[in-house]
Protein backbone atom coordinates (compact mmCIF):
# COMPACT_ATOMS: atom_id res chain seq x y z
CA UNK A 1 0.00 0.00 0.00
CA UNK A 2 1.11 3.55 -0.73
CA UNK A 3 2.12 5.85 2.10
CA UNK A 4 -0.46 8.57 2.92
CA UNK A 5 1.43 11.44 1.23
CA UNK A 6 2.99 9.45 -1.59
CA UNK A 7 2.73 11.46 -4.81
CA UNK A 8 3.07 14.81 -3.05
CA UNK A 9 6.16 16.84 -3.91
CA UNK A 10 7.33 19.68 -1.66
CA UNK A 11 10.13 22.14 -2.45
CA UNK A 12 11.61 23.13 0.91
CA UNK A 13 13.60 26.34 1.33
CA UNK A 14 14.34 25.66 4.96
CA UNK A 15 17.07 25.72 7.54
CA UNK A 16 17.91 25.04 11.17
CA UNK A 17 15.12 23.46 13.26
CA UNK A 18 11.52 24.64 12.93
CA UNK A 19 11.08 24.28 9.18
CA UNK A 20 13.03 21.03 8.74
CA UNK A 21 11.21 19.57 11.76
CA UNK A 22 7.85 20.27 10.13
CA UNK A 23 8.74 18.95 6.68
CA UNK A 24 10.38 15.81 8.08
CA UNK A 25 6.94 14.60 9.15
CA UNK A 26 5.76 15.08 5.57
CA UNK A 27 8.70 13.03 4.31
CA UNK A 28 8.05 10.29 6.87
CA UNK A 29 4.45 10.13 5.62
CA UNK A 30 5.62 9.58 2.06
CA UNK A 31 5.96 13.04 0.53
CA UNK A 32 8.95 13.77 -1.69
CA UNK A 33 10.63 16.65 0.12
CA UNK A 34 13.30 18.36 -1.97
CA UNK A 35 15.52 20.75 -0.03
CA UNK A 36 16.61 23.69 -2.18
CA UNK A 37 19.99 24.61 -0.69
CA UNK A 38 21.86 27.81 -1.51
CA UNK A 39 25.44 26.87 -2.49
CA UNK A 40 26.67 30.40 -1.71
CA UNK A 41 26.20 29.80 2.04
CA UNK A 42 26.86 26.07 2.17
CA UNK A 43 23.17 25.14 2.27
CA UNK A 44 21.17 24.58 5.44
CA UNK A 45 23.04 26.08 8.41
CA UNK A 46 21.94 23.04 10.41
CA UNK A 47 24.68 21.08 8.65
CA UNK A 48 27.29 22.90 10.74
CA UNK A 49 25.77 22.95 14.24
CA UNK A 50 28.26 21.70 16.89
CA UNK A 51 29.27 19.74 18.82
CA UNK A 52 28.74 16.72 16.57
CA UNK A 53 29.59 18.19 13.17
CA UNK A 54 32.06 17.09 10.52
CA UNK A 55 32.38 18.90 7.22
CA UNK A 56 28.86 19.45 5.92
CA UNK A 57 27.30 16.81 8.15
CA UNK A 58 26.08 17.08 11.71
CA UNK A 59 23.94 14.99 13.99
CA UNK A 60 21.79 18.11 14.43
CA UNK A 61 21.08 18.03 10.68
CA UNK A 62 20.35 14.30 10.83
CA UNK A 63 17.74 14.95 13.53
CA UNK A 64 15.57 17.02 11.17
CA UNK A 65 16.20 15.90 7.59
CA UNK A 66 15.70 12.17 7.41
CA UNK A 67 14.54 10.86 4.04
CA UNK A 68 14.71 14.16 2.10
CA UNK A 69 16.46 15.03 -1.16
CA UNK A 70 18.88 17.93 -1.67
CA UNK A 71 19.33 20.16 -4.71
CA UNK A 72 21.99 22.89 -4.72
CA UNK A 73 20.52 25.90 -6.48
CA UNK A 74 21.43 29.58 -6.56
CA UNK A 75 18.05 31.22 -7.09
CA UNK A 76 19.65 34.67 -7.28
CA UNK A 77 20.89 33.86 -10.79
CA UNK A 78 18.52 33.90 -13.80
CA UNK A 79 19.44 30.30 -14.60
CA UNK A 80 18.82 29.19 -11.02
CA UNK A 81 15.50 31.06 -10.84
CA UNK A 82 14.41 29.47 -14.12
CA UNK A 83 15.14 25.98 -12.81
CA UNK A 84 13.26 26.74 -9.60
CA UNK A 85 10.21 27.94 -11.52
CA UNK A 86 10.28 24.80 -13.64
CA UNK A 87 10.42 22.73 -10.45
CA UNK A 88 7.44 24.68 -9.07
CA UNK A 89 5.47 23.63 -12.14
CA UNK A 90 6.15 19.99 -11.25
CA UNK A 91 5.48 20.30 -7.50
CA UNK A 92 2.55 20.62 -5.12
CA UNK A 93 3.94 22.97 -2.49
CA UNK A 94 6.74 25.39 -1.64
CA UNK A 95 7.63 25.40 2.04
CA UNK A 96 9.95 27.99 3.59
CA UNK A 97 11.09 29.15 7.01
CA UNK A 98 12.58 32.62 6.85
CA UNK A 99 11.79 36.11 8.14
CA UNK A 100 8.24 37.16 7.29
CA UNK A 101 9.37 39.71 4.70
CA UNK A 102 11.73 37.32 2.85
CA UNK A 103 9.31 35.13 0.85
CA UNK A 104 8.11 38.14 -1.14
CA UNK A 105 11.69 39.29 -1.71
CA UNK A 106 12.62 35.81 -2.95
CA UNK A 107 9.55 35.60 -5.16
CA UNK A 108 8.04 32.54 -3.49
CA UNK A 109 4.57 33.79 -2.50
CA UNK A 110 1.49 32.44 -4.24
CA UNK A 111 0.90 35.62 -6.25
CA UNK A 112 4.46 35.31 -7.59
CA UNK A 113 4.39 31.57 -8.34
CA UNK A 114 0.83 30.97 -9.57
CA UNK A 115 1.98 31.86 -13.09
CA UNK A 116 4.03 28.65 -13.08
CA UNK A 117 1.51 26.50 -11.19
CA UNK A 118 -1.99 27.81 -10.34
CA UNK A 119 -2.45 25.04 -7.74
CA UNK A 120 0.83 25.59 -5.88
CA UNK A 121 0.55 25.88 -2.08
CA UNK A 122 3.08 28.34 -0.62
CA UNK A 123 3.63 27.78 3.09
CA UNK A 124 5.74 30.30 5.00
CA UNK A 125 6.90 29.58 8.54
CA UNK A 126 8.51 32.68 10.03
CA UNK A 127 9.25 34.22 13.39
CA UNK A 128 6.39 36.72 13.40
CA UNK A 129 4.36 36.17 10.25
CA UNK A 130 4.13 37.95 6.92
CA UNK A 131 2.20 40.94 8.29
CA UNK A 132 2.42 43.23 11.33
CA UNK A 133 5.13 45.48 12.78
CA UNK A 134 7.51 42.60 13.53
CA UNK A 135 7.27 40.87 10.13
CA UNK A 136 10.88 41.72 9.25
CA UNK A 137 12.31 40.72 12.65
CA UNK A 138 14.26 37.47 12.92
CA UNK A 139 12.55 35.10 15.31
CA UNK A 140 14.14 32.36 17.38
CA UNK A 141 12.51 29.98 19.81
CA UNK A 142 14.30 31.39 22.86
CA UNK A 143 13.25 34.97 22.02
CA UNK A 144 9.66 33.94 21.33
CA UNK A 145 9.41 32.06 24.63
CA UNK A 146 10.25 35.34 26.34
CA UNK A 147 7.95 37.55 24.26
CA UNK A 148 4.96 35.23 24.49
CA UNK A 149 4.99 35.04 28.29
CA UNK A 150 6.24 31.47 28.55
CA UNK A 151 9.43 32.24 30.44
CA UNK A 152 7.58 34.43 32.92
CA UNK A 153 5.57 31.43 34.12
CA UNK A 154 8.32 28.79 33.89
CA UNK A 155 10.83 27.95 36.61
CA UNK A 156 10.99 28.26 40.37
CA UNK A 157 9.13 31.21 41.97
CA UNK A 158 12.39 32.45 43.48
CA UNK A 159 14.44 31.91 40.33
CA UNK A 160 14.80 33.79 37.05
CA UNK A 161 12.41 33.45 34.10
CA UNK A 162 13.20 30.11 32.50
CA UNK A 163 12.87 28.65 29.02
CA UNK A 164 11.88 25.09 28.26
CA UNK A 165 14.73 22.60 28.03
CA UNK A 166 13.70 21.98 24.40
CA UNK A 167 12.80 24.27 21.50
CA UNK A 168 9.10 23.72 22.04
CA UNK A 169 7.99 26.78 20.07
CA UNK A 170 10.05 25.74 17.04
CA UNK A 171 8.69 22.23 17.06
CA UNK A 172 5.08 23.23 17.73
CA UNK A 173 5.24 25.74 14.89
CA UNK A 174 6.69 23.01 12.68
CA UNK A 175 3.64 20.87 13.41
CA UNK A 176 1.35 23.84 12.73
CA UNK A 177 3.09 24.48 9.40
CA UNK A 178 2.81 20.83 8.37
CA UNK A 179 -0.91 20.90 9.21
CA UNK A 180 -1.39 24.13 7.27
CA UNK A 181 0.45 22.79 4.25
CA UNK A 182 -1.54 19.53 4.14
CA UNK A 183 -4.79 21.48 4.59
CA UNK A 184 -3.78 23.79 1.75
CA UNK A 185 -3.02 20.79 -0.45
CA UNK A 186 -6.47 19.35 0.24
CA UNK A 187 -8.13 22.62 -0.80
CA UNK A 188 -5.90 23.02 -3.86
CA UNK A 189 -6.74 19.54 -5.09
CA UNK A 190 -10.42 20.19 -4.53
CA UNK A 191 -10.52 23.64 -6.14
CA UNK A 192 -7.51 23.64 -8.46
CA UNK A 193 -6.30 26.87 -6.88
CA UNK A 194 -3.37 27.25 -4.51
CA UNK A 195 -2.80 29.80 -1.76
CA UNK A 196 -0.41 31.21 0.84
CA UNK A 197 -0.19 29.65 4.30
CA UNK A 198 1.21 32.11 6.86
CA UNK A 199 2.45 30.41 10.05
CA UNK A 200 4.66 31.99 12.71
CA UNK A 201 6.48 31.02 15.87
CA UNK A 202 4.91 33.96 17.68
CA UNK A 203 1.33 33.11 16.66
CA UNK A 204 1.92 29.50 17.71
CA UNK A 205 3.34 30.47 21.11
CA UNK A 206 0.50 32.89 21.83
CA UNK A 207 -2.07 30.27 20.85
CA UNK A 208 -0.39 27.75 23.16
CA UNK A 209 -1.02 29.98 26.18
CA UNK A 210 -4.43 28.22 25.98
CA UNK A 211 -6.39 28.16 29.24
CA UNK A 212 -4.13 30.51 31.29
CA UNK A 213 -4.46 33.00 28.44
CA UNK A 214 -8.23 32.58 28.29
CA UNK A 215 -8.46 32.87 32.08
CA UNK A 216 -6.50 36.13 31.88
CA UNK A 217 -8.55 37.57 29.02
CA UNK A 218 -11.87 36.80 30.67
CA UNK A 219 -11.24 36.84 34.41
CA UNK A 220 -8.03 38.81 34.87
CA UNK A 221 -6.06 35.74 35.98
CA UNK A 222 -2.35 36.49 36.44
CA UNK A 223 -0.25 33.35 35.87
CA UNK A 224 2.75 32.97 38.17
CA UNK A 225 5.62 30.52 38.50
CA UNK A 226 4.82 27.63 40.80
CA UNK A 227 7.05 25.63 43.12
CA UNK A 228 8.02 22.17 41.91
CA UNK A 229 6.33 22.70 38.52
CA UNK A 230 2.88 22.56 40.10
CA UNK A 231 -0.28 22.93 38.03
CA UNK A 232 -1.82 26.39 38.58
CA UNK A 233 -5.09 25.02 39.98
CA UNK A 234 -5.14 21.22 40.30
CA UNK A 235 -3.65 19.54 43.39
CA UNK A 236 -1.70 17.27 43.59
CA UNK A 237 -0.33 17.77 40.10
CA UNK A 238 3.43 18.37 40.28
CA UNK A 239 6.84 16.81 40.94
CA UNK A 240 7.63 15.42 44.37
CA UNK A 241 10.97 14.43 45.88
CA UNK A 242 11.28 10.82 46.96
CA UNK A 243 14.13 9.36 48.99
CA UNK A 244 16.33 8.90 45.91
CA UNK A 245 14.97 11.20 43.20
CA UNK A 246 11.92 12.89 41.73
CA UNK A 247 8.62 11.72 40.33
CA UNK A 248 5.44 13.29 38.93
CA UNK A 249 1.84 12.88 40.05
CA UNK A 250 -1.02 14.17 37.90
CA UNK A 251 -4.14 13.60 40.02
CA UNK A 252 -6.44 15.61 37.78
CA UNK A 253 -9.68 14.00 39.01
CA UNK A 254 -11.24 13.31 42.39
CA UNK A 255 -11.02 9.55 41.85
CA UNK A 256 -7.27 9.84 41.32
CA UNK A 257 -6.95 11.71 44.60
CA UNK A 258 -8.84 8.98 46.43
CA UNK A 259 -6.39 6.43 45.05
CA UNK A 260 -3.41 8.58 46.12
CA UNK A 261 -4.80 8.60 49.66
CA UNK A 262 -4.93 4.80 49.55
CA UNK A 263 -1.37 4.51 48.21
CA UNK A 264 0.07 6.64 51.01
CA UNK A 265 -1.95 4.54 53.51
CA UNK A 266 -4.02 7.47 54.72
CA UNK A 267 -7.43 6.67 53.16
CA UNK A 268 -9.21 9.00 55.59
CA UNK A 269 -7.77 11.97 53.67
CA UNK A 270 -9.98 11.14 50.70
CA UNK A 271 -13.08 12.23 52.61
CA UNK A 272 -11.45 14.99 54.63
CA UNK A 273 -13.51 18.10 53.83
CA UNK A 274 -10.29 20.08 53.29
CA UNK A 275 -9.25 17.75 50.44
CA UNK A 276 -12.33 15.87 49.24
CA UNK A 277 -12.98 17.93 46.08
CA UNK A 278 -10.88 19.52 43.39
CA UNK A 279 -11.90 22.95 44.70
CA UNK A 280 -11.15 22.21 48.36
CA UNK A 281 -7.76 20.75 47.46
CA UNK A 282 -6.95 23.91 45.53
CA UNK A 283 -7.98 26.13 48.45
CA UNK A 284 -5.91 24.07 50.91
CA UNK A 285 -3.05 23.31 48.55
CA UNK A 286 -0.24 24.45 50.84
CA UNK A 287 -1.39 22.17 53.66
CA UNK A 288 -1.90 19.20 51.34
CA UNK A 289 1.42 19.59 49.53
CA UNK A 290 3.25 19.88 52.85
CA UNK A 291 1.60 16.67 54.04
CA UNK A 292 2.40 14.76 50.83
CA UNK A 293 5.97 16.05 50.75
CA UNK A 294 6.65 14.61 54.21
CA UNK A 295 5.27 11.23 53.13
CA UNK A 296 6.89 10.86 49.73
CA UNK A 297 10.42 11.64 50.87
CA UNK A 298 10.39 8.53 53.08
CA UNK A 299 10.50 5.97 50.24
CA UNK A 300 12.35 5.65 46.91
CA UNK A 301 10.90 6.68 43.56
CA UNK A 302 10.34 3.10 42.41
CA UNK A 303 8.20 2.35 45.48
CA UNK A 304 5.81 5.23 44.85
CA UNK A 305 5.63 4.97 41.07
CA UNK A 306 4.91 1.24 41.12
CA UNK A 307 2.11 1.67 43.64
CA UNK A 308 0.62 4.72 41.94
CA UNK A 309 0.64 3.03 38.54
CA UNK A 310 -0.89 -0.10 40.05
CA UNK A 311 -3.67 2.12 41.39
CA UNK A 312 -4.10 3.69 37.91
CA UNK A 313 -2.94 7.10 39.07
CA UNK A 314 -1.11 9.06 36.33
CA UNK A 315 2.48 9.09 37.62
CA UNK A 316 6.03 8.55 36.48
CA UNK A 317 9.65 9.02 37.49
CA UNK A 318 11.58 12.04 36.23
CA UNK A 319 13.96 10.42 33.77
CA UNK A 320 17.21 11.65 32.34
CA UNK A 321 17.36 11.70 28.53
CA UNK A 322 19.48 8.54 28.78
CA UNK A 323 16.78 6.81 30.81
CA UNK A 324 13.92 8.12 28.65
CA UNK A 325 15.39 6.73 25.44
CA UNK A 326 15.68 3.30 27.04
CA UNK A 327 12.14 3.15 28.35
CA UNK A 328 10.45 -0.12 27.31
CA UNK A 329 7.68 1.90 25.68
CA UNK A 330 10.26 3.49 23.36
CA UNK A 331 11.34 0.03 22.24
CA UNK A 332 7.79 -1.28 21.88
CA UNK A 333 6.74 1.69 19.75
CA UNK A 334 9.86 1.64 17.54
CA UNK A 335 10.60 5.27 18.36
CA UNK A 336 14.32 4.96 17.53
CA UNK A 337 15.07 4.26 13.85
CA UNK A 338 18.38 3.54 12.16
CA UNK A 339 19.93 4.28 8.78
CA UNK A 340 23.38 3.85 7.28
CA UNK A 341 25.46 7.01 6.89
CA UNK A 342 28.77 7.55 5.05
CA UNK A 343 30.34 9.39 8.01
CA UNK A 344 28.49 8.24 11.13
CA UNK A 345 28.06 4.60 10.15
CA UNK A 346 24.72 3.62 11.61
CA UNK A 347 22.93 6.82 12.59
CA UNK A 348 19.99 6.68 14.99
CA UNK A 349 17.18 9.21 14.85
CA UNK A 350 13.75 9.57 16.47
CA UNK A 351 10.67 8.39 14.59
CA UNK A 352 7.76 10.71 13.87
CA UNK A 353 4.84 10.27 16.29
CA UNK A 354 2.43 10.94 13.39
CA UNK A 355 1.16 7.49 12.47
CA UNK A 356 -1.43 7.17 9.70
CA UNK A 357 -2.41 3.70 8.55
CA UNK A 358 -0.28 0.59 8.77
CA UNK A 359 2.49 1.47 6.34
CA UNK A 360 5.64 3.23 7.53
CA UNK A 361 8.54 4.55 5.52
CA UNK A 362 11.89 2.89 6.05
CA UNK A 363 14.35 5.23 7.72
CA UNK A 364 16.82 6.96 5.40
CA UNK A 365 19.70 9.23 6.32
CA UNK A 366 19.61 12.97 5.66
CA UNK A 367 20.96 13.98 2.23
CA UNK A 368 24.40 15.29 1.41
CA UNK A 369 24.22 18.85 0.06
CA UNK A 370 23.32 18.72 -3.63
CA UNK A 371 23.25 14.93 -3.61
CA UNK A 372 20.09 14.74 -5.71
CA UNK A 373 20.65 17.69 -8.04
CA UNK A 374 21.38 15.62 -11.12
CA UNK A 375 18.62 13.09 -10.40
CA UNK A 376 15.94 15.74 -9.86
CA UNK A 377 16.91 17.79 -12.91
CA UNK A 378 16.96 14.69 -15.12
CA UNK A 379 13.78 13.06 -13.85
CA UNK A 380 11.57 16.09 -13.29
CA UNK A 381 12.84 18.56 -15.88
CA UNK A 382 14.38 16.28 -18.49
CA UNK A 383 17.67 18.19 -18.38
CA UNK A 384 20.47 16.22 -20.02
CA UNK A 385 24.18 16.66 -19.37
CA UNK A 386 24.49 19.46 -21.94
CA UNK A 387 21.60 21.43 -20.42
CA UNK A 388 22.95 20.95 -16.91
CA UNK A 389 26.40 22.09 -17.99
CA UNK A 390 24.94 25.21 -19.56
CA UNK A 391 23.01 26.01 -16.36
CA UNK A 392 26.11 25.33 -14.29
CA UNK A 393 28.22 27.72 -16.39
CA UNK A 394 25.52 30.35 -15.76
CA UNK A 395 25.96 29.95 -11.98
CA UNK A 396 22.73 28.06 -11.29
CA UNK A 397 24.48 25.61 -8.96
CA UNK A 398 26.95 27.99 -7.36
CA UNK A 399 30.46 29.20 -8.18
CA UNK A 400 32.44 27.02 -10.54
CA UNK A 401 35.33 25.09 -9.00
User: What is the per-residue pLDDT for 358?
Assistant: 87
Among candidate residues 157, 263, 139, the one with its CA nearest the CA of residue 204: 139
- C-alpha span between 231 and 145 (Å, rounded): 19
If one counts every other C-beta atom within 10 angstroms of the C-beta of residue 2, the result is 9
Q: What is the pLDDT of residues 15-46, one digit of tens each?
A: 999 999 999 999 999 999 999 999 999 999 99
Confirm whether 156 is a catalytic residue: no
CATH superfamily of 228-318: formyl-coa transferase, domain 3 (3.30.1540.10)
Residue 401 has pLDDT above 80, yes or no: no
For the chain, the structural domain boundaries read 9-207+332-393, 228-318
Q: What is the pLDDT of residues 30-89, one digit of tens each?
A: 999 999 999 999 999 999 999 999 999 999 999 999 999 999 999 999 999 999 999 999
pTM of the model: 0.93
> What's the mean pLDDT when you consider all of the chain?
96
CATH tag for 9-207+332-393 (out of 3.10.580.10, 3.40.50.300, 3.40.50.10540, 3.40.50.2300) = 3.40.50.10540
Catalytic residue among 57, 74, 170, 203: 170
| Long-range contacts (CB closer than 8 Å, 24 or more residues apart) made by 242-246 | 242/296, 242/297, 242/299, 242/300, 242/301, 242/303, 242/304, 243/297, 243/298, 243/299, 243/300, 243/301, 244/300, 244/301, 245/300, 245/301, 245/317, 245/318, 246/301, 246/317, 246/318
The proportion of the chain whose per-residue pLDDT surpasses 90, expressed as a percent, equals: 97
Which residues make beta-bridge pairs with 97?
Answer: 125
Residue 115 has pLDDT above 70, yes or no: yes
Residue 109 has pLDDT above 90, yes or no: yes
Q: What is the pLDDT of residues 170-182, one digit of tens each?
A: 999 999 999 999 9
Amino acid sequence: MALPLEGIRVLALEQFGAGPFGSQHLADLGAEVIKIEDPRIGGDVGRYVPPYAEGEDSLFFEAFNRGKKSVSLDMSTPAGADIFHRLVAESDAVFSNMRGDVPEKLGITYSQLKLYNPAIVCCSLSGFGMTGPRRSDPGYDYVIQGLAGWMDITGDPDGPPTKSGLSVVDFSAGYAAALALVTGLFAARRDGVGMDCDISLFDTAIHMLTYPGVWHLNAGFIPTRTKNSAHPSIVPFQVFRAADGWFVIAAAKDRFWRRVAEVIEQPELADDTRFATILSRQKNSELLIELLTRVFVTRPVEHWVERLRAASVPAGQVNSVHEALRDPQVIARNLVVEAEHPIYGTVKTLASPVRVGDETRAAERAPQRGEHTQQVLEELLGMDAVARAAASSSGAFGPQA
